Structures are given as structure tokens and as C-alpha cells.
Amino acid sequence: MTTPAREQQVRLLVRRGIMPSEAERIVDKAEGGLEPLAIIEEQSAEFQAQRAVMWWQYQGAVKHRFKRLLGAREHAKA
């Protein structure tokens, strides 16, 4: 099978409803070939790790705020 020309692929994507600038970006990004599953899995693991870090940061912020509130209450009592 011959590889279709770049312009031809961009035109087809635009005909399918994709914005011209986005179609160009897609075709350029695809020049490196198929993204292997291993790379996507690696990106996915990295993403999940980032989410976990954000979750713990959020928990830490909540705990800190809670402590401050408790401290303020104790201070008010005293």
C-alpha cells in the first residue's frame, strides 16, 4: 500500500470536520508513525502518578487548614 500524500490526508481530515490547523498538527504528529502501546502505557502511568501526587497535596492542604481551624478554636476558648 502506498502512503497517501500529506496534503491529501490534511484535506481528508478537514472534510471529516476537523479544523484545518488541527488537521495539519495531526498529520505532522503522525509522521513518526504509530505510537506504540508501551509508550502510551508509560504516559498513562506517569499521568496516574501525577494525579496521586496532586491528591496527596490536596489532602495535605485540607489537613493543614483543619489544624489551623482547630488552633483558632482553641485560641478563642483560651
Binding residues vs other proteins (CB under 8 A)? 1-4, 8-9, 12-13, 16-18, 22-23, 25-27, 29-37, 40-41, 43-44, 47-48, 51, 54
Helical H segments across the chain, by residue range? 6-15, 20-29, 37-77
CB of residue 22 to other proteins, shortest distance in Å: 6
CB of residue 77 to other proteins, shortest distance in Å: 31
CB of residue 59 to other proteins, shortest distance in Å: 13
How far is 11 from 25, CA to CA, in rounded Å? 13
What letter does residue 30 receive in the DSSP assignment? G
